[in-house]
A and B are shown apart, each in its own frame.
Chain A
Amino acid sequence: AQKVTQAQTEISVVEKEDVTLDCVYETRDTTYYLFWYKQPPSGELVFLIRRNSFDEQNEISGRYSWNFQKSTSSFNFTITASQVVDSAVYFCALSEARGGGNKLTFGTGTQLKVEL
């Protein structure tokens, strides 16, 4: 069975600090997809990134970057120069390329608080 672990329940940083959110996953599939979603206080989940299991290149998008390492089954997310608007709960999720469906398995989330 697939599983996603986000060991950090809550992280507090001061604005402009860099912060890394950890994600470790388990799957028996060789083809799978990893996602990060942001959930601000309004409650709506916002898609941030998708990565497939065959692409281990790191990705950078503005202040956001992602490090995917199959050897350690990790897909970590770094925010550079954090801002108060980054305060939210961040979820890592896994989807297996099974015969049917697109089921997302989510981690328990990391609450990020960015303070002035």
Chain B
Amino acid sequence: EAGVAQSPRYKIIEKRQSVAFWCNPISGHATLYWYQQILGQGPKLLIQFQNNGVVDDSQLPKDRFSAERLKGVDSTLKIQPAKLEDSAVYLCASSSEGFPSYNEQFFGPGTRLTVL
């Protein structure tokens, strides 16, 4: 079974530029998550989708971050414009369902973003 795919693996941009990340979850997984992991910290949930609807985006900085999952499969996360503090690894995860809460989340390899 193929795992969660993410691209690109690395991205370097200058502040105020835009960037987009792509995620393809495990086939059949209805729930998709985007996490931000700043160096030395644990991952922090940015947004959670159930199929193509948003379940939780309470920690997404909506003035600059946006995410979509149009057909309930792939997802893109965009930052526009980027700030220095956005430098982090962006992890995508998926699970078979968001309910109940014990369902295991499978993580992709992440995209390491450096903002100069």
Could you list which residues of chain A lie within 8 angstroms of chain B, going by C-beta atoms?
A: 4, 32-33, 35, 37, 42-47, 50, 52, 91, 93, 95-98, 100-104, 106-109
Contacts and interface: CB of A to CB of B under 8 A. Distances in A.
Interface of B: 31, 40-45, 48, 55-56, 89, 91, 93, 95, 98-110, 112
Contacts of A4: 42
Contact of B40 (A46, A95, A108): A108
B42 A106 contact: yes
Contact of B107 (A33, A45, A52, A108): A45
Contacts, number: 69
A96 B102 CA distance: 9
Contact of B102 (A45, A52, A100): A52
B101 to A, nearest CB: 4
A42 to B, nearest CB: 7
Nearest to A103: B45
22 contacts: A35-B104, A42-B109, A43-B109, A44-B107, A45-B43, A45-B107, A47-B104, A50-B102, A50-B104, A91-B43, A95-B101, A97-B100, A100-B98, A101-B98, A101-B101, A102-B31, A102-B95, A102-B98, A103-B56, A104-B105, A106-B43, A107-B42
